[in-house]
């Protein structure tokens, strides 16, 4: 695992790239404002901004995985990091698709469909959680074995970070 100084330097560099990308894109948009086809040029600049941010994000995720010894991390840590990465990628893809929409109606339909999918997923997760939470067996008092399992899982989670 990298030292704290190296991790901080990596984090700072990633943030610097995000800000530089934002500033560069803002300057480009400012240059095309008021000119012919400003809307089309602005959309192209926005798509370029999304592509660069996606590359920066991919680099950041790779560095995080390297720093926490991702290959030797517990399965559930890998699942969480992979799920977060997939969520970010899907949101970036949605944002890019929205900017490429040919009309307000098309963008509205696309956004509406994605929001409906998110609501369905949340409703399913909530239903599963409520089903588990309302079972009498789940409401029992924690035992010593439960405490031991919690400590073991905590150690398992921290192992890749501490190695």
Confidence of residue 142 (pLDDT cuts 50, 70, 90): confident
pTM above 0.75? no
**156 Cα distance to chain centroid:** 23
pLDDT at position 39 over 70? yes
Q: How many CB atoms lie within 10 A of CB 89?
A: 14
- The pLDDT > 90 percentage for the chain reads 4
Q: Which H/E stretch holds residue 66? A: helix 38-67
pLDDT of residue 24: 92
Domain boundaries, the chain: 4-162
- The pLDDT of 78-107, averaged and rounded, is 76
pLDDT of residue 149: 77
pLDDT of residue 163: 47
pLDDT of residue 138: 53
Residue, of 117 and 137, whose pLDDT is higher: 117
Output the CA–CA distances (angstroms, integers) from residue 4 to 1, 10, 117, in the order listed: 9, 10, 40
Burial readout 29-68 (b: 16 or more C-beta within 10 A, e: otherwise): eeebeeeeeeeebbeebbeebbebbbebbeebbebbbebb
Across the chain, mean pLDDT equals 78
Confidence of residue 15 (pLDDT cuts 50, 70, 90): confident
Burial readout 125-146 (b: 16 or more C-beta within 10 A, e: otherwise): eeeeeeeeeeeeeeeeeeeeee
């Amino acid at each position: 695992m990298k030292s704290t100084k190296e991790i901080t330097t990596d984090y700072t560099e990633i943030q610097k790239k995000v800000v530089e990308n934002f500033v560069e894109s803002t300057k480009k948009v400012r240059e095309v404002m008021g000119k012919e086809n400003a809307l089309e040029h602005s959309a192209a600049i926005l798509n370029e901004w999304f592509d660069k941010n996606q590359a920066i994000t991919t680099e950041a995720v790779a560095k995080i995985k390297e720093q926490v010894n991702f290959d030797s991390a517990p399965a559930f840590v890998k699942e969480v990091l992979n799920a977060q990465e997939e969520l970010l990628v899907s949101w970036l893809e949605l944002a890019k698709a929205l900017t490429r929409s040919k009309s307000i109606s098309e963008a509205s339909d696309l956004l509406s469909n994605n929001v409906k999918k998110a609501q369905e997923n949340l409703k399913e997760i909530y239903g599963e959680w409520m089903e588990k939470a309302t079972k009498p067996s789940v409401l029992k008092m924690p035992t010593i074995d439960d405490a031991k399992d919690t400590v073991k899982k905590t150690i398992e989670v921290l192992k890749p970070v501490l190695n």
